[in-house]
A and B are shown apart, each in its own frame.
Chain A
Amino acid sequence: MKVNDLVLQTVAKVIVFMIIIFSIYLFWTGHYTPGGGFVGGLMASSGLVLLLVAFDVETVKNVIPFDYKMLIATGLLVAVLTGLGSFLFDVPFLTHTFGYLHLPALGEVSLATASLFDLGVYLVVVGVTMTIIQTIGENE
């Protein structure tokens, strides 16, 4: 029996972007309001899971040709490099700094190196969740 889940698929296509944007919002404002890399990452992966539910594993793989295991490694690398970067300035491992930048389009923006670290966390969480769910999902 062919199941026609047109509604689900159409809605999913729209919702996924909103979820992803929300997750980026959570990540980006984590330093000031509730959120951060962890919740952001989980939220992003929940968006991807929605795709997995609406379509099948193969389709999602074709559309988003990510090897999520690489994502874990990249995230860990970003986090460790952020920590190592502090050695360049002759300060202890994982010492963060922050400052205010004047960007052309956005005006005054505060940037913290801690956000880079949080980016690592974000990537790892997305990678881990998706690896686990995809692996179990593919398993016969």
Chain B
Amino acid sequence: MSLLHFAAFSPFLLATIVPFLYKYFRKIHTGWFVLPLPILLFTYFIQFIHTVSSGKAYGQSFGWIPSLNIDIHFYIDGLSLLFALLITGIGSLVVLYSIYYLAKEKEALHSFYVYLLLFMGAMLGVVLSDNVIVLYTFWELTSLSSFLLIGYWYQREKSRYGAQKSMLITVFGGLAMLGGFVLLYVMTGTFSIREIIQSTGAIASHELVIPALTLILLGAFTKSAQFPFHIWLPDAMEAPTPVSAYLHSATMVKAGIYLLARLSPIFADTSVWFITVSAVGIITLFWGSFSAVKQTDLKGILAFSTISQLGLIMSLIGVGSAALHYEFLEDNIYVVAITAAVFHLINHATFKGSLFMVVGIVDHETGTRDIRKLGGLMNFMPITFTLAIIGCFSMAGLPPFNGFLSKEMFFTGMVNVTKMDIYNMETWGVLFPALAWIASVFTFVYSMIIVFKTFTGRYQPEKLEKKPHEAPIGMLVPPIILASLVIIFGLFPNLLAHSIIEPAMASIMPSLLTAGEKYYVHISFWHGWTPELFMTIGVIGLGILLFLTVQKWSKLYGFFPQKLTLNSFYDKGLSAADKGSNTFMRLVMTGFIRDYLVIIFAFLILLVLGTLWVKDAFIVDFSNVASIGVYEIILVLVIILAALMTVLSKSRLTAIISLGIVGYSVALFFVLFRAPDLALTQLVIETISTALFLLCFYHLPELQKRSKKLTFRLTNFLISLGVGLVVTLVALSSHSAKLFDSITQYFVDKSYTEAGGKNIVNVILVDFRGFDTLFEITVLGIAAFGIYAMIKLRLTEKGE
């Protein structure tokens, strides 16, 4: 257990104490006890910047299940450090914000902080783990804690709906991912990511690579809300705003991106990876930004905006993988996509975190998030307004904020796609910059909607629940910090370039570097009159036009039928699955024993006949058959007649007596086949059971006594014929194919010398196999006591 392990597990440790702190220090907001931990962790992780930027990685291992090669190996390289800093840094700010957001008196704070700390620990585990099984464990823990946080206000129907939806979708992906990891293990024989990366060459040619890739991509796409799995994210907005800011903008939804970036070295060589990741990313980008414009809820807009920005990062990671194919190219133009991905990841976390906090403030101070009710808040909330402007302009990609820089690089990456000459990109490549550009226009429009619909325009006090005023300072500090980061990273992007971005890129694309070499990133504000700049100018121009006319064209959204949305597919699919399984169960589980017997016998026939057929086991060999005597023929005829009478008889009495005839004939068979003990027993037992049958018959209720003939059912007839046929076939075949001699001779030889008896049957029953007899008489005893208990104990009649 090293300090690194302790650091990663400390949120879990603190989570165990939080309820006690909540209970015994009711006067102090529980959040204050939580706040120091993420700050401490942040400072702890900051120390690693030096190690990591010099190209080294730091790792510590701790045995968990060594016999299965599963150990908790945490290590820090550029990528995990970036994420660890995001998690702890934004975590601190979110905790601070939540202290002012959640009221001490009304909310169940202990639950909130326990869930939040669980999530923080799980997320740190995800980004630090080297072992894929450990990674998966933490991954599911993030799903679970996210589920708990979304359903925090569990009294609300919509919270529960959102929590369930996100749970179903992310756990579906998580399980798929586990399958992918297991396939990776099958291919490489190790669970360690870095060891898997060592054997990339072997994986690429392995036949399981495509299934593994698909399953892992499913996991990443569901977690990161990519098309068409993005539908859970807007519904997750029912969570408290600090949760939305933390989980659903900055950290958890980036777990999928982390996973793809982490596994890039393994899969990026394949064409499936390039096409799927970039195409899904760009579609998500477009669809998210397109859908965001029609939202009226501020958090809804931000949710779709998050979806689209995640798509942006995803497509950059996909396009960046092209760099591997042009690695010998001087000044590899595709590397810029990875730089943009990492840079935008940081930028998105800063501005989206602050925007969620801003929206939370508006909600908190006015009582609504509906943009149709809001307006003219500028004068009441000047600081919040400023923060919103910074966040939104950065999101829209305007200078001088950091979003502008990453958007320019994004355009560069997408324009470069058109220069590709692999994977049919000569023809399809042009779609990438086109879609990216259109999506950016929509991004610009919804960013402007957030700012101007909320803060400018007509003030409508009659629609608001409270009189708006500026938020308390504690609530403003976290978004102020994030917004200043937006500006700082915008003005001095190279602060990040050497310390964070370069090491992160080295983790994503290690194979492009020779030993000792480093990526060199220099982000410049002004890069000349490039196509990207004109694209940005176009975005702004068309964006302003669209924003001003939004009232006119937003009716277009109405044409899209509600029935065809993914949400309605999800809801319909869920209820159809529900109904389908209900119907199926009602069909199969009828409650009638006769139906179950039909199923059981039908399976018997199918399985036994199928096995005989497949194994080619039909053997009928009469060479080993004894001669048939007259008595046997007569007895068989008697039994057949009695059996037919049993089945066809009209009255039950006839059936019982015919059954008795069958029994006595069997006893006669025993006599014929020289089994005197069996004959004796069979005679007595048959007598007793016939007497018992008669007793049952005598006690039948009057109403049911109508003697009527059995009705004929074709299925039953066929199935009984089938069972008879199958059993006969098996008996014939097994008789014809005796593999070994019988062991009877042993008993014949030994019964007198070893057991001192001449009746072999009895000697076997009490001596050679007395153990069976012991339990058979126990069975008899249990039956007797059972009958006694059933008849004597009638509690229900006495009403006791």
Contacts and interface: CB of A to CB of B under 8 A. Distances in A.
A139 B788 CA distance: 10
Interface in A87-140: 93-94, 96, 98-99, 110, 112, 114-115, 117-118, 120-121, 124-125, 127-129, 131-132, 135-136, 139
B705 interface: no
Nearest to A68: B784
B423 interface: no
A31 B756 contact: yes
B167 to A, nearest CB: 55
A30 to B, nearest CB: 5
B766 A36 contact: yes
B777 interface: yes
Contacts of A128: 780-781, 783-784
B781 A31 contact: no
Contact of B755 (A79, A114, A124, A127): A114
Interface in A18-66: 26, 30-39, 42-43, 46
A118 B762 CA distance: 9
Contacts of A131: 784-785, 787-788
A10 to B, nearest CB: 23
The residue among A120, A127, A132 with the most chain B CB atoms within 10 A of its own CB is A132
The residue among B757, B766, B781, B783 with the most chain A CB atoms within 10 A of its own CB is B766
> How many A residues are at the interface, by size bracket?
35 or more
A117 B361 CA distance: 88
Contacts of B211: none
Interface stretch (B134-142, B508-516, B680-688): B680-688
Nearest to A82: B770
B773 interface: yes
A85 interface: no
A69 B788 contact: yes
A76 B775 CA distance: 9
Contacts of A125: 777, 780
B758 interface: yes
B770 A39 contact: no
A38 to B, nearest CB: 6
Interface string B655-686: 00000000000000000000011001100110
A20 B4 CA distance: 87
B1 interface: no
Contacts of B16: none
Contacts of B202: none
A136 B777 contact: no
Contacts of B757: 31-32, 98, 112, 114
A132 B684 CA distance: 15
A52 to B, nearest CB: 11
Interface residues of B, number: 36
Contacts of B770: 83, 94, 96, 114, 117
Contacts of B684: 39, 42-43, 46
Contacts of A139: 791
A12 B787 CA distance: 28
B781 A127 contact: yes
B781 A39 contact: no
B695 interface: yes
Contacts of B783: 128, 132
A80 B778 CA distance: 10
Contacts of A98: 755-757
A33 B762 CA distance: 9
Contacts of A73: 781
B771 interface: yes
Given A36-B762, A72-B784, A136-B791, A110 B756 contact: yes
Nearest to A26: B680
B762 A96 contact: no
A124 B780 contact: yes
Contacts of A99: 756
A13 to B, nearest CB: 22
Interface in B758-797: 758-759, 761-763, 765-767, 770-771, 773-774, 777-778, 780-781, 783-785, 787-788, 791-792
Given A35-B762, A69-B784, A136-B692, 7 more contacts: A36-B766, A39-B680, A76-B777, A79-B777, A117-B774, A124-B781, A132-B692
Interface of A: 26, 30-39, 42-43, 46, 69, 72-73, 75-76, 79-80, 83, 93-94, 96, 98-99, 110, 112, 114-115, 117-118, 120-121, 124-125, 127-129, 131-132, 135-136, 139
Closest 3 CB pairs of A and B: A98-B756, A34-B676, A31-B757
Interface of B: 676-677, 680-681, 684-685, 687-688, 692, 695, 755-759, 761-763, 765-767, 770-771, 773-774, 777-778, 780-781, 783-785, 787-788, 791-792
28 contacts: A34-B677, A35-B762, A36-B762, A36-B766, A37-B766, A39-B677, A42-B681, A43-B684, A46-B684, A69-B784, A72-B781, A72-B785, A79-B774, A80-B774, A94-B771, A96-B766, A98-B756, A114-B766, A117-B766, A118-B762, A125-B777, A125-B780, A127-B781, A132-B784, A132-B788, A135-B788, A136-B692, A136-B787
